[in-house]
Amino acid sequence: MEQFEAAKLEKVSGLLERILKRYSVDLGWVFVMLAHFSNEDEVISGQKKQLDELLRFGMGPADLCKGDCVEVAGLTAESGMTKLNGKRGFVGGFVEEKQAYAVKFPPENYYVDLKPEFLQKITDKDKVVNILSRAVAQCKQAKNDMKDMRAKATDKASFEKLRGDLLQSLCGGLCNRYHVDLGWFFGMLEHFSAEDPAIAEQKEEFWKLVAFDTGPMGLEKNE
């Protein structure tokens, strides 16, 4: 997105270079004045909408972007593609002539053109909630592995190194499903847990499951 915005500004500046010089203004001034006058002039407002449509990063009627994660729903038997319902894929582009999105489905990475009404965007918050829920469940299943790691670790530093490998093993596949990594997940987890009590509660449960300290007093080994 940031790369697109930078490239867009560079391209538009190049296209308007001569007229900007004629009036001794820059592109930033144009956008500010455009926003101002579009509030009081219907013609300018209409042209601004056209410009925004041409310059937006999103594609098609659903404003989906390349790489967006989507879930398929609502396909009927007549389509012959009901097996796609519930599957998640990634937007590869928008096919104008079909008014449909080209969606890539891993792991085979095949593409299917689907109308926007059959696609639901998976937001970053959705990704975090889904990964966190599954991570908690998998950590509970791996409690014996966690117990063994605590026994092997001589101190907190050595435990955290072992834990990093285990978290990658347990959660790496979950992250790959959404084309993100563990760094992204933990960063977004901090962000969303600050605004959502349910996520904050589940985050606390997750870290308790993978903590070096144990028991109700949170004491560490050798303390």
pLDDT mean over 69-90: 92
Give the pLDDT score at 214. Answer: 58
Average pLDDT over residues 194-215: 87
- Predicted confidence at residue 54, as pLDDT, reads 64
Tell me what pLDDT residue 216 has. Answer: 53
Asked if omega into 116 is within 30° of 0 (cis), the reply is no
- pTM of the entire structure? 0.62
pLDDT number for residue 191: 93
Domains and CATH numbers, the chain: 1-52 (no CATH), 59-122 (2.30.30.30), 124-211 (no CATH)
Q: Given pLDDT bands bounded at 50, 70 and 90, which one contains residue 217?
A: very low
For the residues of the chain, what is the DSSP string, one character each? -HHHHHHHHHHHHHHTHHHHHHTT--HHHHHHHHHHHHTT-HHHHHHHHHHHHHH-SSBTTTTB-TT-EEEE----GGGT-GGGTT-EEEEEEEETTTTEEEEEETTTTEEEEE-GGGEEE--HHHHHHHHHHHHHHHHHHTHHHHHHHHHH-SSHHHHHHHHHHHHHHHHHHHHHHTT--HHHHHHHHHHHHTT-HHHHHHHHHHHHHT-SSBTTTTBPTT-
pLDDT beyond 60 at 81? yes
Between 115 and 47, name the one with better pLDDT.
Answer: 115
Per-residue model confidence as pLDDT tens digits over 21-55:
888 888 888 888 888 888 888 888 888 877 766 66
